[in-house]
Chains A and B, each alone.
Chain A
């Protein structure tokens, strides 16, 4: 059949104007809504980061601001740009920084693991409790946020002190004669971090466990698995997204944590956050402090990218 023999296609009926306007309005609303988070990130994350990056290539001097300018016009009209790389070189040369990074990564990694070990049973218990109790338990998890973070860390100082609650009770009961030194130790830092960041581990874990289909557990049991095997074969592998999300939410802020090690930790083994603080406020060496911050950020981007990659793969797998 030739094309000419076919009846002419009816012209597409134009959509009513009101409809087109509504569509256009909806589209521009969507654009606005999408723009808000990007704008937020641009103003409050990218711009400050670029400033810090700029400072990290400067040289400290006693002035206001306390660092050299990156670029200047010379007398003969040329633009001279001076980048100091020695700030970064110092991070490698002085073992203080390397130690700070490694110590921070070690403490953050171990705290994340501890949070997982403590948080998983909590999340599992909440997810499997009846709906009414579930809401109360979730509320209890979030309840500590009602008081100031700083206040809660100070409270731990009172508990861990030589004359603190724990020592007093142990001495009263007669378990020990001398108070145990708990303040200003790594133990106190771990305790503080696990205590403070536990909700960030529990909540994403709870979400993955709660939406898990209970018939999967029954199917595994039906096929001969006892409870522990069901957990290892089904529950654990299927909760990996929650473990990763919770792990990142604990690991990343814990790496740069300043308040907890400053108040509870051992000054002789500082985490990188403490080093950074000291450079800024005690040494007034902003360029070195900025370099420390830039390297820390680069270090933390690695696990985030790995998580992104994992999520993309999961999305491609259709789940």
Chain B
């Protein structure tokens, strides 16, 4: 363990990206990748620190997989550099990189047993037969597959195959492990369980992970930091909380979780409180956020559905933002209910209501077609400057 810093100094042990003196472990430096005329990755720069679990999040075709394949060495950047542990590996072939990859399809060799699969990469290491066997056993124990060494991949379940793939990619003790949609092929229950297992294993082996995923929940649960990508560019890099609570653009706000966006114009700025007039909304929205804009700037106000309170009566606190509407749809998910409320202007607002109390359908306070009041505090909303 590192000694605690003296009082008055910030502790960067958990957040090396905040430390201006920390040396990044992986550095992606203005990397561009073109396939013919198609710009797959557009001037992406990333700094990933040792032992991070870094997620590349985005929809299909956003360039996240291309970026991962460039880190693995399967693609060469059109321009830009990639450094791993201080060494420029931009032109290094995959077999010479201190990097291993876990493939989305797992890519287990069907003609080899589990043990042969896991031990495959060790054939190239200077190891005795016994050392190699020990290492394979150690890896299988890590992923809890001790009894399966002699099985062939087709004799395993999907979850077991996923663990063999993980063991195989960790066997060579890579400096950097790349995971392409590691949980994508698993069903929901198994995915949640494996997610935590993956984090435990990462903590145990201490290897830096870069994970590609399109699933924002997976990214939020797993990662130390997330890079949100869209059409080849990185839109935002931050911790899950940063990305969710403080999205820096419409794309991130919309892609990570669901959100209500109100387009409007700044009408006043007073002491860190922004007032935004929104067309079709009776009252201007007040946001408690120090933001450097001028009056008259077009902005968007973003409010997460779970931060909106739904009720029969107007809010007690006059300082809260409020709007009246009618329930259009109601989705019951058990733990929460999702309301789609139509405002008089026709705008639909999403509201997520946590079902903290047990009750029957008829106990529900707000139901279909009810006239309701929506409210949210000035601190719950966020101003997005485009």
Contacts and interface: CB of A to CB of B under 8 A. Distances in A.
A73 B74 CA distance: 81
B300 to A, nearest CB: 41
B100 interface: yes
A224 B107 contact: no
Contact of B107 (A219, A237, A319): A219
Interface residues of B, number: 28
Interface in B302-321: none
B154 A223 contact: no
A237 B105 CA distance: 20
Contact of A238 (B107, B110, B125): B110
A224 B124 contact: yes
A225 B124 CA distance: 8
Contact of B100 (A213, A216, A223, A233): A223
B152 interface: yes
Nearest to A318: B154
A143 B224 CA distance: 59
A99 to B, nearest CB: 40
A223 B116 CA distance: 12
Q: How large is the interface on A (under 10, 10 to 19, 20 to 34, 35 or more residues)?
A: 10 to 19
A238 B152 CA distance: 14
Given A218-B107, A223-B100, A317 B120 contact: no
B168 interface: yes
Interface string A214-229: 0110111111111000
B109 A219 contact: yes
A218 B155 CA distance: 23
Contacts of A234: 109
B95 A213 contact: no
A317 B152 contact: yes
Contacts, number: 62
A139 B254 CA distance: 50
B95 A222 contact: yes
Nearest to B171: A223
A222 B74 CA distance: 9
Interface in B58-87: 72-74
B101 interface: yes
A238 to B, nearest CB: 6
B120 A233 contact: yes
A237 B172 contact: no
Contact of A213 (B105, B152, B168): B105
A223 B120 contact: yes
Contact of B95 (A215, A224, A233, A318): A224
Interface in A158-214: 213
A226 B92 CA distance: 12
A222 B101 contact: yes
A223 B111 contact: no
Contacts of B124: 223-225
A237 B104 CA distance: 23
Interface of A: 213, 215-216, 218-226, 233-234, 237-238, 317-319
28 contacts: A213-B107, A215-B103, A215-B104, A216-B107, A216-B109, A218-B74, A219-B103, A219-B107, A220-B109, A220-B120, A221-B93, A221-B94, A222-B73, A222-B74, A222-B95, A222-B101, A222-B169, A223-B120, A223-B172, A224-B95, A224-B123, A224-B124, A226-B95, A233-B109, A237-B111, A238-B111, A318-B154, A318-B155
7 tightest Cβ-Cβ pairs between the two chains A and B: A223-B121, A219-B107, A224-B124, A215-B107, A318-B154, A221-B94, A215-B103
Given A221-B93, A222-B169, 20 more contacts: A213-B105, A215-B107, A216-B109, A218-B72, A218-B103, A219-B109, A221-B94, A221-B95, A222-B72, A222-B94, A222-B95, A222-B101, A223-B95, A223-B120, A223-B121, A223-B124, A225-B124, A237-B111, A318-B154, A319-B110
